[in-house]
Structure 1
């Protein structure tokens, strides 16, 4: 079972921004900020953000590869595996 998301009002964040950021970074969990009772922003640590961006780039490359396969263009499997290994080696 996943744990409940961490949600705080903007006013609470303003009062203890430094402490909240330290706890968020240590926990690696996203922080949902509300304003007037509605979610307005989500904060994540820089490490989590970079990890997510890296995963998105891999997904974009896979989607591009599928389009190239459908179009009959692209690279052979050996070349793609070398490129994929290089991308995975960059992962933090």
Structure 2
């Protein structure tokens, strides 16, 4: 069962911005802000925002990799593994 989204009108945000930001910061859930009865914005904690951006970057890289594979662009697996081994050896 999915969670019921947290929704507040913008007037509540104006009245208690500090308290609302504290609640959002301590939660993993987004907070939907409405204006005149319609969704106007979504507020998430900085930690959740950074996590989402990291996941999006991974998805972008995967999509780019798939496009490269389809286009026949890429590197030989043996060369990649050799380079990875060299990088790991440098770190030790």
Q: What is the TM-score with the length of structure 1 in the denominator?
A: 0.81
Cα distance in 2 for partners of 1:33, 1:63 equals: 32
5+ residue gaps in structure 1? Answer: 83-92
Instruction: Go from structure 1 to structure 2 and tell me whether the alpha carbon gap of 1:55 and 1:33 turns closer, same or farther (over 3 Å shift).
Output: same
Q: Does 1:41 align with 2:46?
A: no
The CA RMSD over aligned residues, in Å, is 1.6
5+ residue gaps in structure 2? Answer: 85-92
Give the ranges of 4+ consecutive aligned residues of structure 1 lying more than 2 Å apart after TM superposition: 75-80
The number of equivalent residue pairs is: 81
Superimposed CA distance per residue, residues 33-67 of structure 1 (whole angstroms, 9 cap, x where no aligned partner): 00000000001000000000000000000000000
Higher alpha-carbon Rg: 2
